[in-house]
Amino acid sequence: MSQPEFEAHYAELKREIEALEEELAHSKARQHFAHVRQRIETLYETLRESHLLLHTILENSAASIYAKRKDGRYIYLNRGMEILCNVTREQCLGRTDVDVFPHRNCRAVSKQRPHRHDDGPPVGIRGDVEDACG
């Protein structure tokens, strides 16, 4: 979920909570509701700060970083990856290697792609790929 989508979703939920709070104005549940609302606000701020910190770290890293969904479509790439591969985020997000890079290079990259063990996360790329990004 992008930052604008995250913010819009949060604003929508906040409006719904405010409407419910108005309905509970004369109820004993109002105090409990206010407590739950405060917990939600605290959680939101914590998640927002964590997201911004992670984004800042990834964008300012000297490394070229990308992330893909299980189906191989890009969901993130940092500025270093854009520069290394001479692409833009708009060209990559939601697309696969075959959609973005020349076919000959996709085969080389897919052979070197991190492999996944059945019971764990992906393992790093084995060796270097010459001209992997085109």
Say if residues 73 and 92 touch (Cβ distance below 8 Å): no
**Tokens 């708009």, located at residue:** 90
Q: What is the pLDDT of residues 8-44, one digit of tens each?
A: 888 888 888 888 777 776 666 777 777 888 998 999 9
- Give domain limits for the chain: 3-60, 63-134
Residue closest to 58 by CA, chosen among 77, 72, 74: 77
Collect all residues with Cβ–Cβ distance below 8 Å to 60 and sequence separation of at least 6. none
Cα distance between residue 69 and residue 75, in whole Å: 7
Residue 2: the pLDDT is 74
Q: What Cα–Cα distance (Å) separates residue 79 from each residue in 50, 85, 95, 104?
A: 20, 10, 17, 24
Q: What is the pLDDT of residues 55-101, one digit of tens each?
A: 999 999 999 999 999 999 999 999 999 999 899 999 999 999 988 88
